[in-house]
Amino acid sequence: MGVFEALGQSYSDDDLAAFQSQYNLPRQKISKIVGPNDPSSCSSDPNNCVEATLDVEYIMAMAQGAPMTFWSIADENGDIFLEWIKAVSKASAVPQVFSISYGGPEHLQDQGDMTLFSNEVCKMGLRGMTVFVASGDDGVAGYEARNDKSKCGFKPEYPANVPYVTTVGATMGPALNPPRDEEVCMSNKGSIITSGGGFSDHFDQPTWQTAAVQTYLSTGPNIPPKSMFGTGRGYPDVASLGNAYNIVVGGQWFQVSGTSAASPVFCGMVALVNGDREQAGKNPIGYLNPILYKVDKSVYNDVSDGVNNCCAGGDGSPVCCKYGFSAAKGWDPATGWGSLDYPLFAQAIANLP
C-alpha cells in the first residue's frame, strides 16, 4: 500500500514509533520512500507534517504489516497528480492500493491534464492498483467559499471527480461527546470540516452509477435545483469516519479531522482484503468502483442523516451555503453508499474471482 504526498509534506519515523507505541500497534517502519521527505521539519513546524503523518499513521494502523510506500512529489509547478501517476505508471512494481488526501477545484484545472490523469489511473487499475481519493473538506462549494459566502455554489473537486478513482467521504458521530449515530461530517454540527461531494462538470457519469444517481435525484430529500449542478460523475462512492483523529507530529499530540483521514482508513481496509485474496491465490481487486455499486448493500452502514452545505470552519462559525446535498437511504453525494461493515465487505470481495 502507499500514500501520495505533496506540498512539502513529510513524516517522521520517531512520530510513527510513538503513535504505534501509544496504541499498542506492531512496530513497523515505512518500507520505501520515493521523493523528498524531511523528518526534521515536523519539529520545526507541525504544519509541515500534519497531512502526511495522518495518512501514514492511520493507513498503517488499519493494515498492520502491509509493506508501505511513501511517495511524494517535489515539483509543484504543474499538475502534481498527473506527475505522480506518470511516475507510478513507469515503475515495474507498485503498491496495490494508494491513498490521495489532496485536491483542488475542478474548474481551476487544465481539462487535458484531468483527462490524462484519469486515463492513466484506468491503466493502473488494469494492473491491479486501486486509487482512493478524499472527497474534500468544504462541502459542495469548495475552499473558495470558506471565507467568502459569495463564492457559494457547486464546485466539484479534482481528482475526487475522476471515474477511475474510488472517492471517500467523511462521517462523524461515534467520537463526539456525547456520541451520536453516524452522519455526514459537518462543520456546523461538531466537526471542523464538512464532507465534500457532488457531480463533475468535466467527466461524464459512468454507467455503473447511473441507477444509483437517478434514484437519489428522484427520491432523495431536499434536492437542490437541478439547474445549479452538473450531471457528470457523482462522488463520493463510499465513506469512513473522518472526525477527531489523534496523531503525533514533532513529538506532540494533535486531534485532526478530514476526508484525508477517511481515505487512508478505507484504503487500509482494502489492503487487508487484497491480502485475503492473495492468500486464496487471487489477484488484487484493482478497479473497484463497478464492484462497489453492484455488491450486496448489506456490506455498508448506510448513512442517511446530514447535509454538506457548509465549508470547513475551525473557529466554530463556518460559512454555510443555502444549498447542499443531503444524505439519504442508499447512495448520495455526501457519503456515497456509506461506511463499511468490514467483515461482510471483506468476505464479499474476497469471494470474487
Is residue 51 among the annotated active site residues? yes
Q: How many residues in total does the chain contain?
A: 353
194, containing H or E segment: none
Q: Which residues, in sequence order, are CB contacts of 252 under 8 Å at separation 6+? A: 46
Which is the catalytic residue, given 15, 51, 137, 144? 51
Helix axes 342-350, 259-279, angle to 10 degrees: 40
Which is the catalytic residue, given 260, 304, 326, 339? 260
Q: Map grid coordinates 456515497 to a residue.
A: 336
Torsional sign, CA 340, 346, 351, 353? positive
* Cα–Cα distance, 68 to 318 (Å, whole number): 36
C-alpha cell at 90: 513507469
Is residue 40 among the annotated active site residues? no
Helix axes 50-62, 13-22, angle to 10 degrees: 50
Which is the catalytic residue, given 5, 15, 55, 79? 55
Is residue 55 among the annotated active site residues? yes
* Cα–Cα distance, 286 to 125 (Å, whole number): 5
C-alpha cell at 11: 513524516
* Cα–Cα distance, 78 to 113 (Å, whole number): 9
C-alpha cell at 202: 468535466
Between the CA of residue 82 and those of 60, 89, 241, what are the distances in Å? 25, 10, 28
| 8 Å CB contact between 199 and 229 | yes
The residues annotated with a catalytic role in the active site are 51, 55, 260
